[in-house]
Amino acid sequence: MGTSTLHDVPAPPDVPPPGPEFGWESAGLDLDAYLERIGHTGPVRADLATLRALVRAHTESLPFENLDVLLRGGVSLAIGDLQDKLVRRRRGGYCHELNGLLATVLDRIGFTVTALSARMLFGADATRLRPVGHTLLRVDVPGEGAWIVDTGVGGWGPNAPLPLRNGAQVRAGDWLYRLDRTARGWMVRLLRHDGWFNVHLFTLEPFYRPDMADFEYIASHHPRSPFTRMLSVQRNGASERVVLTDRRLETHRPDRAPEARDLAPEELPGVLREVFGLHLPREDEEALVRFAARAPEGQELE
């Protein structure tokens, strides 16, 4: 029996390029219904002006909220379910839903969209190590380079695209954002009344819809996840941001300390309807009132 050498061992097959399963479910998107939902009536092209208009309208129209995690134990990221919830039923969602829907829209229009994952800081010191799991987007615009889009941070997220450039500063309404390349990745910061606020750290490693689904499962099921322990609803506006955490309602503006008041549990349904535009079935409103009544005081996203 002869002996073989390394030269006789066949090379492994090449890894194939990404196929359709790596992309977005844009064929199943009702683009017209989405545009009506966010109130966009301008041009729809794969250019920077359209990207800026869609990001602004998306963040101002679709609130950040985790209500279905509390009510039903999780959400679906399939495009049909995202459209039913966020478009047809005029609800909001959290990062995997909000950015997943927007990624599908942008892909359908003709942008190149890549999912990224960030380590959320929520104002913590940059040396603190947090797990990855927050979904955001890299959007490549023909002739304009790469831009970071993140409509899924709620009250602290940019309602404008950020150019992927070290030291870039972008004014989004009355708010100023900054993007810096650091030794640990790219850092998004927001200028608030008390100084620069660290939003999150991310790298440019691509992630895909199965990754987002795993991150969503952890966010909606892990006992230490803030989304399984507290009610969080946030509205992102050009001049003010409104943040509801359990029974505490805060209004943030860039040049002053937040205004805050504590709600009685029975006030919650009215605030969801009137402040955030969220109209839920009565049984869901009653379940959230019960949740808010027993929620510990002083909980915060971190």
Question: pLDDT per residue over 135-163, tens digit each?
Answer: 999 999 999 999 999 999 988 999 999 99
Q: 75-106: string of b/e by CB count within 10 Å (b at 16+)?
A: bebebeebbebbbeeebbbbbbbbbbbbbbbb
* Centroid of chain to Cα 278: 18
Distance of alpha carbon 289 from alpha carbon 272, whole angstroms: 11
Q: Is 163 a member of any domain?
A: yes
For the chain, first and last CA: distance in Å?
65
Instruction: Report yes or no on 3 lying in a domain.
Output: no
pLDDT tens string 47-99: 999 999 999 999 999 999 999 999 999 999 999 999 999 999 999 999 999 99
Distance in angstroms (rounded) separating the CA atoms of residues 76 and 92 = 13
The total of other beta-carbon atoms located within 10 Å of residue 258's CB is: 16
Q: Is residue 185 one of the residues assigned to a domain?
A: yes
12 belongs to a structural domain = no
Total structural domains in the chain?
A: 1
Cα distance between residue 224 and residue 297, in whole Å: 17
Q: Is residue 54 part of a domain?
A: yes
- Domain-located, residue 148: yes
188 in any annotated domain: yes
Q: Per residue in 18-58, pLDDT tens? A: 777 788 999 999 999 999 999 999 999 999 999 999 999 99
Q: In terms of residue numbers, what domain contains 85?
A: 25-294
Which CATH number covers residue 216?
3.30.2140.20
Residue positions annotated with a catalytic role? 95, 134, 150
Q: Which has the closest alpha carbon to 135: 151, 146, 122, 147?
A: 151
Q: How many Å apart are CA 226 and CA 66, to the nearest integer?
A: 10
Report pLDDT digits (tens) over 170-223.
999 999 999 999 999 999 999 999 999 999 999 999 999 999 999 999 999 999
Rg from Cα positions in the chain: 21
How is residue 41 written in tokens?
A: 């009536």
| Predicted confidence band of residue 302 (pLDDT cuts 50, 70, 90) | low
pTM of the model: 0.93
- Which residues lie below 8 Å from residue 244, measured CB to CB, with a gap of 6+? 231, 232, 233, 234, 250, 271, 272, 275, 276
| Helices and strands per DSSP (H, E), number in the chain | 9, 13
Structural domain contains residue 9: no
* Residues forming beta bridges with residue 148, ordered by sequence position: 138, 162
